[in-house]
């Protein structure tokens, strides 16, 4: 039975492409693996897969009795419910070390860069495994997505170099044009319910015993969010909070303005907003905030420890 290469719940482009790219890496090293995902592709990811004619990974909800490699996460809250019944073989990630554990040694690569595909590209180089043009194009898109066209504070020189190297393999000359195509696809709200939008890129975190859910919706302009839609998002966010969470947040990121508006429902809204150097109001604007990983989660975790 093939080992599974699995990304987090509510998968974004990095998560799904990481599963495909890590599968290529592991197979190149002689391992029997297959890429899977915990959900179907969101609009941006669907654009990337179609653009480079790649197949979306099979969707799985159970991993009991399976051998598993994790990509783009290491938090139990983002794993399948029966993950404790699986055998963890390895992790490739660019987030903080989470709370997964193992009963035997694992191969673990967690580097402080802007995208998991940057790590995977460097591992391809290290193990001398080839990347075909289609996969290289998708990996490039994942880096452009996670670093928000290199604008995110999480972006490093390693991310830029990996992107340029992948662009050369894929035959892509204009990275900005590709990135804008991708973000226009990501900004497509047509047919999506408020809940769909909240969970398009949503992660739960255990913050000192409190469950905090944080969604992020990146758009080319927040003008796409009408007053009516914003009211619907707030109402749905209250329902999401009511599903056993201390707090539910939706970070609405304006890619061009390079900042985010925060929608918040919480048992202690002042503490949450204060952790982000904001105050509770009808409109909570967070200037310069582009990254949930670097500019939101660490400050909330510190606040919940206090």
Task: Report residue 85 as tokens.
Answer: 């019944």
Q: Where are the CATH 3.10.310.20 domain residues in the chain?
A: 194-305
What percentage of the chain has pLDDT greater than the value 70? 100
> Over the chain, what is the mean pLDDT?
96
CATH assignment of 3-184? 3.90.1640.10
Band (306; pLDDT cuts 50, 70, 90): confident
Q: Cα angle vertex 43, ends 168, 95, to 5°? A: 65
Band (44; pLDDT cuts 50, 70, 90): very high
pLDDT of residue 189: 94
Q: Where are the CATH 3.90.1640.10 domain residues in the chain?
A: 3-184
On the question of pLDDT at 39 being above 90, the answer is yes
Architecture of domain 194-305: Roll (3.10)
Please give the average per-residue pLDDT across 97-121, as a whole number.
97
pLDDT of residue 71: 98
Band (87; pLDDT cuts 50, 70, 90): very high
Please give the average per-residue pLDDT across 46-72, as a whole number.
98
What percentage of the chain has pLDDT greater than the value 90? 99
On the question of pLDDT at 46 being above 90, the answer is yes
pLDDT of residue 76: 95
Q: Cα angle vertex 138, ends 136, 184, to 5°? A: 140
Tell me the pLDDT tens digit for each residue of 234-289: 999 999 999 999 999 999 999 999 999 999 999 999 999 999 999 999 899 999 99
CB 218 within 8 A of CB 231: no
pLDDT of residue 52: 98
Please give the average per-residue pLDDT across 148-161, as a whole number.
96
CB 67 within 8 A of CB 86: yes
3-state helix, strand, coil in the chain (%, to 5): 40, 20, 35
- Residues 6+ positions from 56 with CB-CB distance below 8 Å: 16, 37, 40, 41, 45, 46, 49
CB 23 within 8 A of CB 65: no
CB 72 within 8 A of CB 94: yes
């Amino acid at each position: 039975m093939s080992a599974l290469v699995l990304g987090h719940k509510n998968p974004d482009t990095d998560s799904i492409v990481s599963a495909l790219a890590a599968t290529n890496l592991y197979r190149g090293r002689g391992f029997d693996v297959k890429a899977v995902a915990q959900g179907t592709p969101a609009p941006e990811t669907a654009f990337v897969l179609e653009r480079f004619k790649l197949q979306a990974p099979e969707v799985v909800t159970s991993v009991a009795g399976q051998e598993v490699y994790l990509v783009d996460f290491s938090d139990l809250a983002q794993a399948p419910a029966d993950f404790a019944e699986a055998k963890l073989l390895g992790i490739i990630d660019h987030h903080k070390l989470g709370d997964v554990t193992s009963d035997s040694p694992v191969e673990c690569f967690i580097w402080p860069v802007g995208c998991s595909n940057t790590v995977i590209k460097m591992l391809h180089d290290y193990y001398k495994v080839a990347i075909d043009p289609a996969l290289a194009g998708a990996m490039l898109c994942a880096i452009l997505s996670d670093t928000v066209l290199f604008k995110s504070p999480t972006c490093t020189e390693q991310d830029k170099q990996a992107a340029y190297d992948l662009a050369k393999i894929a035959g892509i000359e204009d990275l900005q044009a590709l990135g804008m195509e991708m973000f226009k696809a990501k900004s497509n709200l047509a047919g999506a319910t408020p809940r769909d939008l909240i969970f398009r890129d949503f992660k739960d975190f255990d913050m000192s015993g409190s469950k905090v859910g944080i969604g992020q919706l990146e758009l080319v302009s927040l003008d796409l969010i009408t007053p009516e839609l914003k009211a619907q998002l707030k109402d749905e966010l209250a329902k999401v909070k009511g599903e056993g969470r201390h707090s539910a947040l939706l970070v609405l990121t304006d890619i061009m303005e390079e900042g985010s508006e925060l929608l918040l429902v919480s048992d202690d809204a002042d503490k949450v907003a204060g952790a982000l150097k904001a105050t509770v109001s009808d409109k909570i604007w967070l200037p310069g905030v582009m990254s949930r990983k670097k500019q939101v989660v660490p400050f909330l975790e510190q606040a919940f420890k206090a």
